Every structure is written in structure tokens, then in C-alpha cells.
Amino acid sequence: MSKNIKMEIWKKAVINCAINPVGAITGMKNGELIKNEYTAKIMALVVSECIEVAEKEGIAFDEDIFKKTEKIAELTSENENSMLQDIKKRKKTEIEFLNGKVTKIAESHGLKSPYNRTLYFLIKSMEKRYRKDLY
């Protein structure tokens, strides 16, 4: 896979790792997430952590990923992200393939990923609460 394709996949993953679980946990629409100082800070920490992991995978981003995350949240400000929708519908979320995957990759490089891990655990606990069939 070319580096550019890998970088684009990582960009999308990082943005989703920051927006989706934070929105799902708080119940906020995308635009609210960046206007609230607390959720914006959590998102910035998640993005920073993801960038560190991506760099260990040989990815060098060609733009400011947090600014890109903010822009996406602004462009979709009235949207409830897919993870929030899944939580509301009591469906399995994509957390395993987002923050869960970043956490596993981080571990493979000897890195800690406390923000991604915490979001992963929180979403998994929400899923477990309503999806007994998953556990």
C-alpha cells in the first residue's frame, strides 16, 4: 500500500477516534464538541496520541490533523456521528476498529495510549450495558 493511501487512512481514523467516541459518550453533535472547552481538549489529546502512534508506523502527516478534525466537526456541526447513533440504537459500534486498534498498535511499539484506551473502555462498557449478546 502506498504511503499516501496509508496516510489518508490514518487521517480518517484519527479524526474518527477524536470525534466519534467523545460525541457518543457526551451525546453532543459534532459542532458542540469543538465549542466545548472540555471536549475540545479531550479531542486534542486523542489526536496527539494518535499522531504519535501513526509516526511509529512510519506515517508523516502533511497537514495539522487537529485543525482538520476541527474543520470536519464544523462542516458536520449538526450531525450526530455514527457512534452516537449506534449507541442510541443499541448497536455495536466501530470502537474496536478505531480507538481499540490505535491502542493495540501503540502497545506493539511500547507506547501507552491512555486517552484512546479510556475512550475504548467507556464505549465498550456502554455497549456491554445494552448488548449482553456481545459479551
| Of the candidates 60, 64, 25, 47, the residue with the CA atom closest to the CA atom of residue 102 | 47
Query: Distance (Å, rounded) from C-alpha 120 to C-alpha 93?
Result: 10
15 located within any domain: yes
| Residue 58 confidence (pLDDT) above 80 | yes
Enter the pTM of the model: 0.93
65 located within any domain: yes
- For residue range 67-79, what is the model confidence (pLDDT) as tens digits? 999 999 999 999 9
pLDDT at 110: 98
135 located within any domain: no
| Residue 134 confidence (pLDDT) above 90 | no
**CATH code of residue 113:** 1.10.1040.10
Handedness of CA 105, 107, 111, 116 (dihedral sign): positive
What is the total count of domains within the chain?
1
pLDDT at 21: 99
Identify whether the C-beta of residue 82 lies closer than 8 Å to the C-beta of residue 45. Answer: no
pLDDT at 113: 98
Quote the cell numbers at residue 129. Answer: 450495558
For 59, what's the count of Cα atoms within 13 Å in the CB-facing half-sphere? Answer: 22
63 located within any domain: yes
107 located within any domain: yes
pLDDT at 133: 65
For 124, what's the count of Cα atoms within 13 Å in the CB-facing half-sphere? Answer: 13
Known catalytic residues are 12
pLDDT at 135: 54
| Residue 101 confidence (pLDDT) above 70 | yes
**Domain extent for 96:** 3-130
Query: Distance (Å, rounded) from C-alpha 33 to C-alpha 10?
Result: 21
| Residue 16 confidence (pLDDT) above 90 | yes
Identify whether the C-beta of residue 21 lies closer than 8 Å to the C-beta of residue 96. Answer: no
Q: Where residue 131 falls among pLDDT bands split at 50, 70, 90?
A: confident
28 located within any domain: yes
- Helix ranges (H only) for the chain are 3-26, 30-35, 37-56, 65-75, 82-88, 99-108, 114-130
Query: Distance (Å, rounded) from C-alpha 95 to C-alpha 20?
Result: 9
